Structures are given as structure tokens and as C-alpha cells.
């Protein structure tokens, strides 16, 4: 029994070490089927340069790595600007009129027959029933119309599960994923970004830094934004940034969140936008030339401190006021002591008696005259005493 247990345990241990676990991404989706090594960007999106009237072939890989078959809709649609300048795609219900219409799926000569594929009810849509743990490549063609204008045109290839919406109240959500299709029609290419404005908003215990730029060229431009926030005296506080695609003819509103600084105070921010303005550059391909930089205006803003920061600042302020008050009092005291006059100790005088006579504390009298314990004075000793105070009648 013991040997059996040991044996099974040993095999399990060996099994763990000999056969590393196979990792499955348990989802479904799409990705470009034919990425090109010379443009790494094609791993993630479709990028093509097409002359008017010409056709390019592409393919989208539909993957179902879940444990159950999936009924999916694969379709092409035009792109649409999402708020803030983000890239989004038109809905399944919207007829394509631009790049979405340039894309046609070719299901007549599929290499594999593992999925049940048929045309969908809506334009440029196909319906796929794909078994669990499988993938299929759906070819499609992109045909630029004869009247396609020079520059970049964007669309999408999307996938969406066919589901019955069970929710009868509230917002019923459908989920989909998509891949950008960027088609460039060659000609006179213009790559240009212009700074528009820089807004700062205080909201929700944070400060939102929102510079905006506009793409005035005819192709999208991958723009690197860098926003530097500095204290009013110039010391750097935070830097935000990132590279974002700014689509042609669109305004891009960056939105960086600065958590309220602990100490609060006066700050200023400035943004710099860098991009490759050379016409030989394209999506995923750099021209190798120096980047063009566009600078924003400098914006100043005030931030209230956090609660704890405010408490500490108030405490420090009180301590500082208290220390200053003590220092001022001490200065005044020193100035007053300099005005003390000479006094010759008489017979019977004591430190306490002299102090009382001159309306000053005996300890101060002893301190000024450096009289040490037992605080005794001798007849004829010269000491300093405060000047006589002027009576109200003499002040007049």
C-alpha cells in the first residue's frame, strides 16, 4: 500500500516536471492571418497600400480556444471616431459605405472545412459555427474604388458572438472584438499634427490633463505625447505619455489622470507631441528621419492638498508661527536688555529685592548679570537693571 502510494506520487511528480502545462487562452477572437515580417504592425492590424481600382488579398484567422463551439458573426464595417479620438467601428446594423464596403469575404475556396460558414443576413457579414479548440482562416479582399482619394482610409473586421440577449431590462450588452484595417491610397502624402489646446480639470479628487491635437494631414500618424508636470519652482513632479494613433482629419483628446498631489500647491504642465512627418513613413514603418515635435502652451494649475497633507501643512505652519513668535520675542528681549542701566548694590540688597524694585523677574536679573547660585550679591557690586518705566504722566 505504502509502495503503491509512493509509486503514484513519484509518477505524479515526474509528470509535473516532464510535461509542462499546456496553456490555453480560453477565449475566441480574430487576428491577422498573414502578418508581414517587414512590418511588425501587421501582427495586430491590417495594413495595405492599394492603388485605386486594385485589389489586395488578406485573411483573418478566427480562433475558438474555448471548450465549446461558438456561433459567430464575422463582418466588415467602416471606422468611426470614438470620443476623445479613439478608434472604433460602426455597428453591425449600419451599412458600410467606405472601407467596410471595400472588404469582401471570400468563402468559396476555404482551405479548411472545419467550420460551418455561410453568408450572413446583413451586408458584408458571414456566419461561422466554429468547433471548440479550433481555428479557421477566412480570406478576404480589399478593393480600392477608382475614385478613392489619396491618403489613408480606415475600416474594421469584427467578430461577435450570436447570442440571445436574456436581459429584458436595463442595458443589454453585446460584446465584440475587432481589428483595424488601414488602407493607404498612394499619392501626395501629408503627415501633420497641430496642437489645439490644453485643458486642466479638477474632478473626483484628481486632476485631468487634457491636451488636444488635430491631424491635418491625409494619413493617420502615430503620435507620442509626453506631458510633464512640474512644481511651480521647476522641480519635476510627474510625467505622462504614450504613443497613440491620431487618425486623419480627427482631433485627439489625450486624457491623463494626475492623482491629487499629497502636498497640493501650484504646478505647471507642458506637453510635447512627437511624430514622423516624413512622407516616406507609414503605419509601422519609420522613415528614419528626426521626429517632428509640436509643443503645447504651458498651463498653470493649483491643486488642493490631500486631507493628511493639509493636516501636516497646518501643523507645520503653526509650528513655524510659534517658532517665529519665540524668535521675535527673544530679539525684543535682547534689545531691551541692552538698554539696562548700571546699578550699585547697596547694603541689604538681595537679588530678589532688586528685581522686585525694578519690576523684573529675579531669574532674568540673575541670568543677565550672570549671577550663579546661591544668587548672592555684595555691597558695591555693579549690576545691570532694567531702565525705569515711564509713568503715564511723564509720557505726556
Please report, as residue ranges, which positions from 9 to 28 form the binding site for another protein (by CB under 8 A).
9-11, 13-14, 16-20, 22-23, 25, 27-28
Least separation in angstroms between CB 246 and another protein: 10
DSSP 250: -
For residues 22 and 235, which CB has a smaller minimum distance to another protein in the complex? 22
Nearest-Å Rg of the Cα atoms of the chain is 40
Least separation in angstroms between CB 267 and another protein: 19
Residues 276, 291: Cα–Cα separation, whole Å: 5
Of residues 270-299, those binding another protein (CB under 8 A): 284
393 sits near another protein (criterion: CB under 8 A)? no
Of residues 243-272, those binding another protein (CB under 8 A): 243-245, 253-257
391 sits near another protein (criterion: CB under 8 A)? no
Residues 209-238: x where in contact with another protein by CB under 8 A, - otherwise, as a string:
-x-----------x----------------
Task: Give the total of residues touching another protein (CB under 8 A).
Answer: 80
Tell which one of 41, 70, 153, 191 touches another protein (CB under 8 A): 41
Contact 41, 95 (CB under 8 A): no
171 sits near another protein (criterion: CB under 8 A)? yes
Of residues 72-131, those binding another protein (CB under 8 A): 80-84, 86-94
The DSSP bridge partners found for residue 136 are 62
Closest CA to 125 of 88, 96, 165, 154: 96
132 sits near another protein (criterion: CB under 8 A)? no
The gap from C-alpha 318 to its chain's centroid, in whole angstroms, comes to 36
168 sits near another protein (criterion: CB under 8 A)? yes
Least separation in angstroms between CB 334 and another protein: 57
353 sits near another protein (criterion: CB under 8 A)? no
Contact 181, 46 (CB under 8 A): yes
For residues 52 and 86, which CB has a smaller minimum distance to another protein in the complex? 86
* Torsion angle of C-alpha atoms 342, 347, 352, 356, degrees rounded to 10: -70
The one segment of 48-56, 199-207, 338-346, 365-373 that binds another protein by CB under 8 A: 199-207
The one segment of 100-108, 156-164, 258-266, 308-316 that binds another protein by CB under 8 A: 156-164
DSSP 367: H
165 sits near another protein (criterion: CB under 8 A)? yes
The CA distances from residue 239 to 181, 273, 278, 306, in Å, are: 32, 13, 27, 20
Backbone phi, psi, residue 206, to 5°: -135, 165
The CA distances from residue 10 to 4, 126, 294, in Å, are: 10, 51, 65
204 sits near another protein (criterion: CB under 8 A)? yes
Residues in Cβ contact with 365 at an 8 Å cutoff, skipping those fewer than 6 apart: 351, 354, 355, 358, 371, 383, 385
Of residues 49-78, those binding another protein (CB under 8 A): 63, 65
Amino acid at each position: 500500500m505504502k509502495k503503491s502510494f509512493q509509486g503514484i506520487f513519484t509518477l505524479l511528480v515526474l509528470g509535473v516536471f516532464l510535461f509542462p502545462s499546456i496553456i490555453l487562452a480560453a477565449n475566441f477572437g480574430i487576428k491577422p492571418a498573414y502578418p508581414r515580417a517587414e512590418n511588425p504592425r501587421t501582427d495586430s492590424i491590417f495594413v495595405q497600400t492599394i492603388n485605386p481600382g486594385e485589389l489586395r488579398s488578406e485573411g483573418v484567422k478566427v480562433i475558438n480556444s474555448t471548450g465549446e463551439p461558438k456561433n459567430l458573426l464575422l463582418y466588415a464595417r467602416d471606422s468611426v471616431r470614438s470620443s476623445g479620438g479613439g478608434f472604433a467601428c460602426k455597428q453591425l446594423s449600419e451599412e458600410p459605405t467606405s472601407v467596410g464596403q471595400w472588404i469582401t469575404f471570400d468563402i468559396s475556396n476555404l482551405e479548411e472545412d472545419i467550420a460551418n460558414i455561410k453568408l450572413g443576413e446583413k451586408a458584408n457579414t458571414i456566419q461561422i459555427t466554429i468547433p471548440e479548440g479550433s481555428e479557421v482562416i477566412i480570406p478576404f479582399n480589399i478593393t480600392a474604388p477608382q475614385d478613392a482619394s489619396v491618403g489613408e482610409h480606415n475600416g474594421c473586421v469584427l467578430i461577435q458572438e450570436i447570442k440571445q440577449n436574456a436581459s429584458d431590462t436595463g442595458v443589454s450588452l453585446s460584446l465584440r472584438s475587432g481589428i483595424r484595417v488601414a488602407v493607404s491610397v498612394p499619392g501626395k502624402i501629408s503627415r501633420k499634427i497641430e496642437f489645439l489646446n490644453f485643458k486642466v480639470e479638477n474632478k473626483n479628487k484628481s486632476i485631468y490633463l487634457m491636451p488636444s491635437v488635430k491631424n491635418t494631414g491625409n494619413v493617420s500618424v502615430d503620435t507620442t505625447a509626453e506631458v510633464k508636470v512640474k512644481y511651480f519652482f521647476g522641480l519635476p513632479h510627474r510625467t505622462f505619455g504614450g504613443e497613440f494613433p491620431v487618425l486623419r482629419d480627427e482631433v485627439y483628446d489625450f486624457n491623463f489622470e494626475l492623482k491629487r498631489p499629497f502636498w497640493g500647491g501650484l504646478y505647471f504642465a507642458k506637453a510635447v507631441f512627437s511624430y514622423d512627418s516624413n512622407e516616406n513613413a507609414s503605419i509601422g514603418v519609420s522613415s528614419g528621419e528626426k521626429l517632428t515635435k509640436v509643443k503645447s502652451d504651458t498651463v498653470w494649475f493649483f491643486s488642493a492638498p490631500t486631507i493628511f497633507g493639509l493636516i501636516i501643512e497646518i501643523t507645520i505652519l503653526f509650528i513655524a508661527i510659534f517658532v517665529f513668535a519665540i524668535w521675535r520675542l527673544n530679539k525684543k528681549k535682547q534689545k531691551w536688555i541692552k538698554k539696562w542701566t548700571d546699578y550699585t548694590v547697596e547694603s541689604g540688597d538681595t537679588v530678589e529685592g532688586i528685581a522686585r524694585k525694578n519690576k523684573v523677574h529675579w531669574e532674568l536679573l540673575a541670568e543677565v548679570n550672570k549671577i550663579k547660585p546661591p544668587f548672592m550679591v555684595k555691597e558695591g557690586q555693579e549690576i545691570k537693571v532694567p531702565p525705569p518705566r515711564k509713568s503715564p504722566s511723564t509720557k505726556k
